[in-house]
Amino acid sequence: MIRSERAKTVHVRLEELYPQVPIPLEHQDIYTLLVAVLLSAQCTDKMVNRVTPHLWALADNPFDMAKKSVESIREIIQPCGLSPQKSKAIQGLSKILVDEYQGQVPNSFEKLEALPGVGHKTASVVMSQGFGVAAFPVDTHIHRLAQRWGLTDGSSVVQTERDLKKLFPEASWNRLHLQIIFYGREHCTARGCDGTVCGLCRELYPRRKTAVVTRK
């Protein structure tokens, strides 16, 4: 199979496996989605979903969150890791949203990425899942699987995103990035598959005998 054929097979199989793709991070609106995605950096969605109800009880909108102390935020989000940086970012971006955007989350990559603690992946998730704008956020699962499936050389997350956007129709990006994440968690896991075990790896590379070493 050439790369485009592998991409087509991946798309078809994932549509069969995951016809419904719920957003993994529980949230109430775009602001709470933004904060939840920020918290998910180097943390599982399961842990974020455990922590955020307590955070929303403290403040679930930028107006209230901007008034909370960094320490009170940090105390709640500590289980998510990187709490010193994340608590400052949550308070800081909340103040900016109040001061500059009337409490609304901007629907622009450029403006989102200018907020404290918001990188390109976080902005992509918010644009995709919050605003419905076509984006292809690349997390560790997607970066790993795209390499195992021969869709990118994995030289960087930026390159992986670029390659995937070329291979798949733009209209599929928002669903597909979630489908790949689900597959990476349930079938082609970091330890459970090495490029020779899961169904898709075997279908795409039936003659592959050696493990695939993926770049982080």
**Cβ 136 vs Cβ 127: under 8 Å:** no
Where is the domain boundary, 130, 160, 176?
Answer: 130
Task: Name the residue type at position 80.
Answer: C
Domain assignment of residue 215, yes or no: no
The confidence score (pLDDT) of residue 1 equals 87
Specify whether 156 is located in the same domain as 96.
no
> Considering only CA atoms, which of 136, 125, 145 is closest in space to residue 215?
145
Where is the domain boundary, 130, 147, 180?
Answer: 130
Domain assignment of residue 210, yes or no: no
Q: In the chain, where does DSSP find H-type helix? A: 3-17, 30-39, 45-58, 62-65, 70-77, 83-101, 109-113, 120-125, 140-148, 157-167, 173-186, 199-204
Specify whether 48 is located in the same domain as 113.
yes
The confidence score (pLDDT) of residue 21 equals 93
The confidence score (pLDDT) of residue 64 equals 98
Residue 139 among the catalytic residues: yes
Domain assignment of residue 146, yes or no: yes
The confidence score (pLDDT) of residue 76 equals 98
Specify whether 171 is located in the same domain as 196.
yes
Task: Per residue of the chain (216 residues), give pLDDT as tens.
Answer: 899 999 999 999 999 999 999 999 999 999 999 999 999 999 999 999 999 999 999 999 999 999 999 999 999 999 999 999 999 999 999 999 999 999 999 999 999 999 999 999 999 999 999 999 999 999 999 999 999 999 999 899 999 999 999 999 999 999 999 999 999 999 999 999 999 999 999 999 999 999 999 987
Specify whether 51 is located in the same domain as 95.
yes
Domain containing residue 8: 3-21+136-204
The confidence score (pLDDT) of residue 211 equals 94
Domain assignment of residue 214, yes or no: no
Domain assignment of residue 212, yes or no: no
Catalytic hit among 139, 165, 194, 216: 139
Domain assignment of residue 213, yes or no: no
Residue 121 among the catalytic residues: yes
Where is the domain boundary, 68, 98, 130?
Answer: 130
Number of domains observed in the structure of the chain: 2
